[in-house]
A and B are shown apart, each in its own frame.
Chain A
Amino acid sequence: MLRYIVKRILALIPVLFCVAFLIFTMMYFSRGDPATMTLGDQATEEQLAEWRAARGLDKPFWQQFGSYIWGIVSRGDLGVSYKTGQHVTQSLLERFPTTFVLAVATCAIAIVFGVLLGILAANRQGTWVDNLLRVLGMAGVSIPIFWLGLLLILWMAVEHQWFPVSGWYGPRYVVLPALTMGLTFTASIMRTTRSSMLDCIRQDYVTTARAKGQRESVITYHHVLRNALIPIITAAGNVFGISLCGAVITEQVFSIPGLGSLMINAINTRDYPLVRGSVLLLATSFAVVNLLVDLLYACVDPRIKAQFVSSARTGAKKPEEEPADKKPGANLQKGGD
């Protein structure tokens, strides 16, 4: 198992290197000159050239990329912000907890509501409850997050004043943004739970349990739900990863000082080191969450754990990792998030 984990972590390195290269290249060829953007239109050619030289921007592409990567590998240094002069790593570490808390709250809402409603829909398959939840789920994935956020502000913050309109000063400020993202993702988790439960409900062991006279609640939660968990975990992991990155929009709606708003401000001011750093951190978090989800399978499903244990004992080759597109719920990603 440990070997598998190490192998997976090592496999992340080339992917993240390529992502860093991709983002660096995109920012390098971006429109807009950071020097003019920072120093203003009044700056002379000499001042602009001096500014560029001080940041190594006058060097060739490969040299710039090389020193960027060397900075990350040797010192964990993502560069210095053009605008504030602060180290990017420091700015990211200041903002990341906010985005992380928001993603955790979002995930909690989506999992609790999504799984419960999914179970309800599966148990009432074909009835009006199922149909209603299906339509609501469909509506949930169709509503743009930023619009839902604005509607929730109007209803819960302006009309009823249950929660603050915007900002980030305490637990009460988490509710509305988390609800905005959570409600959208509830729909995805609900649909995954429903179809995964329905796959299990038709299995022989469920019929056997029922024939033995087992209580329906035990059948649902013990026999069916446990076996239906893998796709649900994949969906939940996806939701967590996407809400880390999807917070970009929600943070704008609710003026939350997280990683997303830091990135958008950096984009608007052409502060490329900050943009690169934020995207790289988000991509790394996304990859780590996906890795954790894969490892969680082994904890939840004894069959998968047995594969690792037996292969470790016999020294046999470990089961090949399933391609992402074959994993249940892998295509859950919602646009606009």
Chain B
Amino acid sequence: MSGTTKEIKRRSMAGEVAVRYFRKPLAVLGAVILAVIVIMCLLAPVIAPYDYDAQDVLRKFTEPCRQFPCGTDNLGRDIFSRLLYGGRISLMVGFVSATVAAVAGVVFGAIAAFYGGKVDNLIMRFLDIFIALPQMLLAIVISTMIGPGIQGAIIAVTIATIPRYAQAVRAPILSIRGQEFVEAAFAIDARDSRIILRHILPNVLSPIIVQVTMGVGNAITMAASLSFLGLGVQPPYPEWGQLISSARVYILDHAYMVTYPGLAIAAVVLALNLMGDGLRDAMDPRWKD
């Protein structure tokens, strides 16, 4: 009995979460899918049989075969290689914008909830203006202002998603703020920044991690949608949404050109959603729906 207790005590919180996470087959599947895709995209220069913009007009519209696993496009470019290189852009846009949005959202949400009163009112009413527009519409408007391109897509997706993170973090902080350990930190005259960073944020870290995990998938889809509308990443960069957008006109005769990029987006987003779901259950078993 005492041995068991010791064993449990020896495990850190992260260890506990990892054990619970790896007991869930779907969550593990999500992690594996994401890991495989990320590694393949990172190793694109090694794995990709061709360069992403290497054209061979004589071999245009080649159906998937041994030489071209996902076929070639209208300019004879290898779609598999373009997917690998494009994945780097899609994943980068997703991870960067979700991380920056989460950090900014947490800062806004934490300051609003911590100081309350006028500060809270000011920040949240300001964010309400952005929340009055659905995320995708907001991203479209922002990218119209900034102009197309990778940078534009990242900024548009980031700004459009900040308010949701702020909202998500504000509610739990409001409830934590009144608890005794925060009062105790006030009592020993701790600095506000220390109370927020050391006492409050660690207690709301779990929902933030889950939200960011799923947020990366959301950001990838939003960026792909912007590219599809012609407002995001532009050719010749083979971002996944851009690949679908430019292949659209050939869909009736060469459906494979649209199928593989779509599969790639769906696989990554599904993997991130599975991971987010698994993490939510692993971090707090009470959240299990």
**Chain A contacts to B: CB under 8 angstroms:** 15-16, 18-19, 22-23, 26-27, 29-32, 135, 138-139, 141-147, 150-151, 153-154, 158, 191, 194-195, 198, 241-242, 245-246, 248-249, 252, 263-264, 267-268, 275, 279, 282-283, 286-287, 323-326, 331, 333-337
Contacts and interface: CB of A to CB of B under 8 A. Distances in A.
B201 to A, nearest CB: 18
Given A275-B141, A287-B132, A336-B136, 4 more contacts: A19-B133, A31-B147, A142-B270, A282-B133
Interface of B: 26, 128-137, 140-142, 144-147, 161, 164, 167-168, 170-171, 217-219, 221-222, 224-225, 228-231, 241, 244, 248, 251-252, 255, 258-259, 261-262, 265-266, 269-270, 273-274, 277, 289
Given A150-B262, A331-B164, A279 B137 contact: yes
Given A142-B270, A143-B266, A275-B144, A333 B129 contact: no
Nearest to A337: B136
A333 B134 contact: yes
A241 B241 CA distance: 24
B229 A249 contact: yes
Contacts of A287: 132
A15 B128 contact: yes
A22 B129 contact: yes
Given A143-B266, A335-B218, A150 B132 contact: no
A139 B266 contact: yes
B273 A15 contact: no
Contacts of A16: 132
Lowest 7 A-B CB distances belong to which pairs? A336-B221, A335-B218, A147-B262, A142-B270, A195-B289, A142-B269, A325-B167
Contacts of A263: 140
B83 to A, nearest CB: 14
Contacts of A245: 133-134, 136-137
Contacts of B136: 242, 245-246, 248-249, 335-337
B221 A158 contact: no
A275 B140 CA distance: 11
10 contacts: A15-B128, A15-B129, A19-B129, A22-B129, A31-B146, A138-B277, A144-B228, A150-B262, A335-B219, A335-B221
A148 B86 CA distance: 20
Contacts of A194: 289
A30 B259 CA distance: 34
Contacts of A264: 140, 229-230
Nearest to A148: B262
Nearest to A244: B134
Nearest to B258: A150
B133 A279 contact: yes
A135 B266 CA distance: 13
Contacts of B171: 323, 325-326
